[in-house]
Chain A
Amino acid sequence: MKRATWILSCLGMLAFSADAMSVSPEQERLKRVQAVQKKYPDIKFEDYVYGALAFSADAKEQYDNMMAFPPFESEIDKGRALWETPFRNGRHYADCFPGGGKNVAGNYPYYDETMKKVVTFEMALNQCRTKNGEAAYKSSDMNSMGLLTAYARTLSDGMLMNVKVKGDGALAAFESGRRFFYQRRGQLNFSCASCHVGHVGEILRTEYLSMLPGQATHWPAFRGGDYALFTLQRRYSACNQLVRAVPMEIGGEEYNNLEYFHSYLSNGLPLKASVFRK
């Protein structure tokens, strides 16, 4: 009788501590993916990368036609020139990454145990610059970092998102990003999740709301009629302003942690950079 009580109380304590801990990254990801699969069983998992386009065959067709001859091709070419131009010391961006920079973007962001912080792909591009005697680009400058990453990321097109979260530091950064996603902000009182978890596939005025899994795979995006270049974090900034919250710094800790969480939630989905979006 005493032994049974002891076993039961141990099980009880385990259950209690499981509730007290945050859900693990993989549990969170599966929960969100399964929720979309349940609500929209006809949309294939790999099509989550199309976001709002996955809900309208017409919109997807327009997108496909646009992407056959992208009007912003010349911008990507500018990025290519930036990528291929050697540094003053004669070395290249390709020397900083395995495989000459091919199929690397899906490994970002990662948590750097030495620096004790999240490192995004754009930060890695800047690390390459400074390591080779060049000044870092401003992460928020679409004319330098924007164009560079618009080309550099295309070298990883087709690679599956493969973000890792291991160890206490990484878990804390992931949790910080997760909390940002689910926290209400701005005068309009929306969290990112209010729409992108709570109302996936529904229409806000005239636009479909995209699902959280898949969102982080398709950046930078060239948006709207004037094909303005948006990195993912520039999009975070714009979304925050839409709900009347003063945005965080592009390249700062909050958005880096958010990108870490956000990208993990797209694990297993194929990347495609420099695409059109409304």
Chain B
Amino acid sequence: MNSRRIAIGLLVWGGLVMGTAGQGALAAEGDSRPALSAEAAEALARAESSVAQATARKALWTTATSALAQAQEAARKADNAAVMEYAAVASEQASRGMAQLDSPLTNQQH
């Protein structure tokens, strides 16, 4: 007869725990080691590598640099979604800059 009450109690306490755990995850922003997802960390590393390559080839765009800065800022806050978004822009803009090196010189006629 008490089993129903126990089941409800368990459900209720489970909900409470999930709620506070959610609050705890948000509070983790202030912790010394924020948790960046593996996917986001990998995207950031790829972006840093692309930007470094473009820099070495003297083909870096300011848009790549600023997107990377925003990705790094988002990484400090463990904002995985923002890291993914900005890292993608940084990688794309960096590779566009390098591809531009192959474009022909302009105004070569007359």
Contacts and interface: CB of A to CB of B under 8 A. Distances in A.
Interface of A: 31, 35, 179, 182-187, 189, 191, 193-194, 197-198, 241, 244-246, 248, 254
A246 B105 contact: no
B57 to A, nearest CB: 11
Contact of A246 (B62, B100, B103, B107): B62
B61 A186 contact: yes
Contacts of A248: 58
B62 A182 contact: no
A194 B107 CA distance: 7
B72 interface: no
Contacts of A193: 105-107
A244 B61 contact: yes
Interface residues of B, number: 20
B62 A244 contact: yes
Contacts of A187: 61-63, 93, 96-97
B66 to A, nearest CB: 9
Contacts of B55: 246
B62 A184 contact: no
A182 B61 contact: no
B47 interface: no
10 residue pairs, one from A and one from B, having the closest CB atoms: A182-B105, A246-B60, A193-B107, A191-B106, A197-B107, A244-B62, A187-B61, A187-B63, A184-B103, A193-B106
Given A189-B100, A246-B55, A183 B105 contact: yes
Nearest to A31: B110
A254 B58 contact: yes
A261 to B, nearest CB: 13
Q: Give the one of A179, A184, A193, A254 with max B CB within 10 A.
A: A184
B106 A194 contact: yes
Interface in B86-102: 93, 96-97, 100-101
